[in-house]
Amino acid sequence: MAAITLAIAIAALAPWLVVAWWALRNRVTLRALVVAMKRSFEFLSMLAEYAQDEPAQQEADRADPTH
* pTM, to two decimals: 0.43
Cα torsion 54, 60, 64, 66: sign: negative
Per-residue pLDDT tens over the stretch 6-62? 888 888 888 888 888 888 888 878 788 788 888 888 888 888 888 777 777 777 777
Long-range contacts made by residues 10-17, C-beta under 8 angstroms, separation at least 24? Answer: none
